């Protein structure tokens, strides 16, 4: 270990500081060496000069050397007292790099922890939605009614519009193909089967995820940030009972209704195309549709909507309650909730499709 002394210019400003830094670089401090900045000849320094001193200290420590200064006086001493303490001494030991396996393990533990939280929330919610009301522990019917209005009634228009347009698009696409074989009327069959089994449920779930799922996550996250969740728990009230259960029961009612309306809207959309553009008689289109409609298809679609409903509420609440930090956290968690919603809509739809494919067809 050797000491290297570096004299500091009489007036330390942006220009002389740069020269000082270049000199320090040229000294090529080796690990364990000490660089002492000799400041007895310095009469004044400014902020830019101070920044160069910081840069010199950083450069020394980046090479695992030590930085020190001495001989400062007067105004310069005041300045160095302000910036000095963080610069002097041995390099701070950098946080050790985490290895590949450590990172894998950490991620795994994070996931396990989150999964555990989700399961606890789910169990709590199932208890407070389906069991506790029968034990006379109370259910917030007032909030439930508000939620039904907010999630359901106010979502009817946008949901029907989306399904109507989707119905029209499907009719357009399939008509182009089927008309080549003179089988244009089969578009009615195709649309009714697609909507009953898949499209009404998935399209409605997507609209609900974007409207209601995002709203739930943002609401709970904001409540958490503003200590409302703590206030609730501090009164001995259960979050699952108070906030989650009414939403689950509301969406369980609303989702099949919206999907049913969505299905009708989708069929209307395809009928508009079939009758007005393709020129089939309305009567014929109606009969074809009704003949192709199967109760089992409709049932399959509705069953899915119930699963989607519970999932959207739970994912929204789960992400909302996990928020950390302020407004930025709220935004992050809302985004996360909607992304997870849409991902799991597709996954659940896939599971349903394969189950029905192998079991029933």
Partner 1 sequence: MRHEEPHDAFIEVRDLVAHYDETLVLAGVSFAVRRGEVFVIVGGSGCGKTTLLKHMTGLLTPTSGAVYCSGQNITEMNEDELARMQRGIGIAFQSSGLFNSMTVGDNVALPLREYGGVEERLVQAIVRLKLSLVGLAGAEHMMPEELSGGMRKRAGLARAIALDPPVVYFDEPSAGLDPIIAAGLDDLILDLRGLLGITFVIVTHELDSIRKVADRLLMLDRGKEIFLGTLAEAEACDVGRVRQFFERRADEFIMPHGPR
| Residues at the interface with partner 1 (CB under 8 A) | 78-79, 81-82, 85, 222-223, 226-228, 230-238
Give 47 or 237: the residue with its C-beta nearer to partner 1. 237
- In whole angstroms, the minimum distance from the beta carbon of 78 to partner 1 comes to 4
- In whole angstroms, the minimum distance from the beta carbon of 18 to partner 1 comes to 25
Non-local CB neighbours of 181 within 8 Å, separated by 6+ positions: none
- In whole angstroms, the minimum distance from the beta carbon of 111 to partner 1 comes to 16
- In whole angstroms, the minimum distance from the beta carbon of 277 to partner 1 comes to 47
Cβ neighbours, 10 Å, residue 171 = 26
- In whole angstroms, the minimum distance from the beta carbon of 245 to partner 1 comes to 14
- In whole angstroms, the minimum distance from the beta carbon of 247 to partner 1 comes to 13
- In whole angstroms, the minimum distance from the beta carbon of 229 to partner 1 comes to 8
Give 27 or 76: the residue with its C-beta nearer to partner 1. 76
Cα separation, 346 vs 209, in Å, equals 12
Report the DSSP beta bridge partners of residue 66. 34
- In whole angstroms, the minimum distance from the beta carbon of 81 to partner 1 comes to 4
Give 143 or 193: the residue with its C-beta nearer to partner 1. 143
Give 66 or 147: the residue with its C-beta nearer to partner 1. 147
Give 121 or 205: the residue with its C-beta nearer to partner 1. 121
Give 196 or 240: the residue with its C-beta nearer to partner 1. 240
Cβ neighbours, 10 Å, residue 307 = 18
Give 60 or 243: the residue with its C-beta nearer to partner 1. 243
- In whole angstroms, the minimum distance from the beta carbon of 180 to partner 1 comes to 57
Q: What is the 3-state secondary structure (H, E, C) of the chain?
A: CCEEEEECCCEECHHHHHHHHHHHHHHCCCCCCEEEEECCCCCEECHHHHHHHHHHHHHHHHCCCEEEEECCCHHHHHHHHHHHHHCCECCCCCCCCCCHHHHHHHHHHHHHHHHHHHHHHHHHHHHHHHHHHHHCCCCCHHHHHHHHHHHHHHHHHHHHHHHHHHHHHHHHHHHHHHHHHCCCCHHHHHHHHHHHHHHHHHHHHHHHHHHHHHHHHHHHHHHHHCCHHHHHHHCCCCHHHHHHHHHHHHHHHHHHHHHHHHHHHHHHHHHHHHHHHCCCCHHHHHHHHHHHCCHHHHHHHHHHHHHHHHHHHHHHHHHHHCCCCCHHHHHHHHHHHHHHHHHHHHHHHHHHHHHHHHHHC
Give 150 or 198: the residue with its C-beta nearer to partner 1. 150
Give 52 or 79: the residue with its C-beta nearer to partner 1. 79
């Amino acid at each position: 270990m050797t000491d290297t002394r570096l004299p500091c210019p009489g007036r330390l400003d942006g220009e002389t500081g740069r020269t000082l830094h270049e000199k320090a670089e040229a000294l090529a401090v080796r690990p364990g060496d000490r660089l002492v900045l000799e400041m007895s000849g310095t009469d004044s320094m400014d902020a830019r000069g101070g920044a160069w001193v910081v840069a010199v200290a950083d450069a020394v420590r980046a090479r695992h050397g030590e930085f020190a200064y001495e001989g400062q006086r007067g105004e310069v001493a005041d300045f160095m007292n302000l910036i000095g303490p963080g610069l002097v001494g041995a390099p701070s030991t950098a946080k050790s790099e985490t290895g590949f396996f450590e990172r894998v393990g950490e991620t795994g533990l994070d996931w396990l922890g989150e999964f555990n939280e989700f399961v606890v929330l789910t169990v709590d919610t199932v208890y407070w939605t389906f069991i506790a009301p029968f034990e006379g522990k109370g259910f917030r019917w007032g909030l439930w009614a508000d939620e039904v209005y907010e999630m359901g009634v106010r979502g009817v228009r946008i949901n029907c519009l989306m399904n109507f347009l989707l119905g029209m698009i499907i009719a357009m696409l399939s008509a182009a193909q089927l008309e080549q074989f003179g089988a244009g009327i089969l578009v009615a069959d195709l649309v009714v089967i697609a909507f009953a089994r898949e499209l009404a449920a998935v399209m409605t779930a997507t609209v609900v995820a974007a409207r209601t799922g995002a709203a739930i996550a943002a609401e709970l996250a904001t409540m958490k940030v503003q200590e409302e969740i703590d206030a609730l728990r501090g009164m001995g009230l259960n979050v699952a009972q108070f906030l989650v259960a009414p939403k689950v029961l509301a969406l369980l009612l609303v989702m099949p209704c919206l999907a049913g309306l969505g299905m009708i809207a989708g069929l209307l959309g395809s009928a508009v195309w079939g009758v007005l553009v393709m020129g089939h008689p309305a009567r014929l289109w109606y009969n074809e549709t009704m003949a192709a409609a199967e109760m089992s298809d409709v049932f399959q679609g509705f069953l899915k909507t119930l699963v989607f409903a519970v999932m959207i509420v739970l994912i929204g609440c789960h992400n909302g309650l996990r928020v950390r930090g302020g407004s930025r956290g709220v935004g992050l968690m809302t985004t996360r909730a909607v992304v997870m919603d849409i991902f799991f809509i597709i996954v659940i739809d896939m599971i349903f499709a394969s189950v029905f494919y192998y079991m029933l067809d």
